[in-house]
Structure 1
Amino acid sequence: MAFNIAPVSTLQKNELYFHLYLHHTYGGSNPNQTLIVDPKLPTKFGRTVVNDWPVYDGNGTDKTIVARAQGVHIQAAMSLRRWENYFSIVFEDDRFKGSSLQVMGPVVEQGEWAIVGGTGQFRMAQGIIFKKVLEAKADGNILELDIHAFYYGGQPWTLGV
């Protein structure tokens, strides 16, 4: 069995700030989420929805998709209507393509999601996403995301070398 051990001082810690816009469309002719489990309980406990929400670099007509928020949200409380999100923000733009942020937290109009990991350029990310509904529409909404995280950059690690 081969393995490498490196002193922590060789890791380069970086900080990132992004200001992005997530489009959450649950209705209409082109939704970007779908119900996959519906136990039909009165409180909707256990309902599970899979999502592939586009994330844009702006909110104007010239906006560009830079990432996708791909994962699930689950009705996770029996006594009240409370949803939890678990997803990856997978970057598609040229600069960060293939990198991701792993995110989790409650579904609320204004609040926070935790960044609990990352891959690629954002490996081992930890941070927070402050989110708020920027625009509520009949078939969904647009969320404004302020992303702040710390991550380790530098050369990729290798095992068994």
Structure 2
Amino acid sequence: MAKSTFNIAPVSALQKNELYFHLYLHHTPLGPNKNEADIVDPKLPNSFGSLSVNDWALYDELGTDAKVIARAQGLHVQTGMDDSQKYQNYLSIVVEDTRFKGSSLQVMGPDVEEGEWAIVGGTGEFCLAQGVIYKTFLKHQSDRNIMELDIHAFYSASSPVSSGPAK
């Protein structure tokens, strides 16, 4: 009998967990400790088409005792042709601390400072994550901006890969 190249199985009760994170993103585009860099500058009007890479630190609190919990690593592209400087962000939020170490949330959406980003996937403990990140601009300092992130997601309680394919 020939082996099937794919299998489909109904899922009657996929258990989900709910995740809340409250973190602070330090966006530092200037100075000696900058955490992003332009890698493509097409020299078009309004920086249209520019591409930057980022490794933004996410902290558990404000202040000197703040601890890096995760990093938002990825790209942002200037996609607006008008003066509004509209960027699209494509990120992996990779956890460095706690029991979630090494797990990630796959994130995309507009702008760094305000609005929302969509959580469109996840790895490790956050397998099959879906959710939203609400961003609020908190403060501007000479070399950085600080945003408050409220992360809300649902993810699978166990990786579908760990149990193997359906038979």
Taking structure 1 as the reference length, the TM-score comes to 0.91
The question of 1:142 aligning with 2:162 is answered no
For residues 130 and 152 of structure 2, the distance between their equivalents in structure 1, rounded to whole angstroms, comes to: 9
- Structure 1 CA distance for aligned equivalents of residues 112 and 72 of structure 2: 16
Whole-Å separation in 1 of the counterparts to 2:24 and 2:40: 27
Q: Kindly state the Cα deviation for residue 46 of structure 1 after the two structures are TM-superposed.
A: 0.5
Task: Pick the structure with more strand per residue.
Answer: 1
Q: Secondary structure at the match of 1:87?
A: strand
| CA drift at 1:126 | 0.8
The equivalent residue for 1:26 is: 29
Q: Distance in 2 between the 1:155 and 1:82 partners?
A: 36
Deviation at 1:12, TM superposition (A): 1.4
- Listed as ranges, the gaps of 5+ residues in structure 1 are none
Q: Deviations over 1:39-86 (max 9, x none)?
A: 011221110000000111111221111110000110012233211111
**Separation in 2, partners of 1:50, 1:109:** 16
The structure with more radius of gyration:
2
Change (3 A) 1:156 1:24: same
DSSP 3-state at the match of 1:79: coil
Q: Which runs of 5+ in 2 are unaligned?
A: none
- CA drift of 1:37 comes to 0.1
Deviation at 1:30, TM superposition (A): 1.2
**CA–CA separation in structure 1 for the residues paired with 2:13 and 2:116:** 32
Deviates more, 1:5-14 or 1:99-108: 5-14
Question: In structure 1, what is the equivalent of residue 62 of structure 2?
Answer: 59
In structure 1, what is the equivalent of residue 104 of structure 2? Answer: 100
Give yes or no for the alignment of 1:122 onto 2:129. Answer: no
Amino acid at match of 2:139: E
* Cα separation, 2, equivalents of 1:12 and 1:101: 18
Tell me the TM-score normalised to structure 2 length.
Answer: 0.88
Secondary structure at 1:9's aligned position in 2? coil
Going from structure 1 to structure 2, the CA distance change for 1:97 and 1:105 (only over 3 Å counts) comes to same
Secondary structure, aligned partner of 1:8: coil
Identity of aligned residues (%): 63
Q: CA deviation at 1:160?
A: 6.0
RMSD of Structure 2 on Structure 1 (CA)? 1.8
Q: CA–CA distance in 2 between the matches of 1:46 and 1:74?
A: 6
Distance 1:130 1:108 in 2: 11
- Tell me: CA distance 1:137–1:125, structure 2 relative to 1, closer, same or farther (3 Å): same
Aligned residues of 2:71 and 2:94 also touching (Cα < 8 A): yes
User: Which residue is 2:82 aligned to?
Assistant: 79
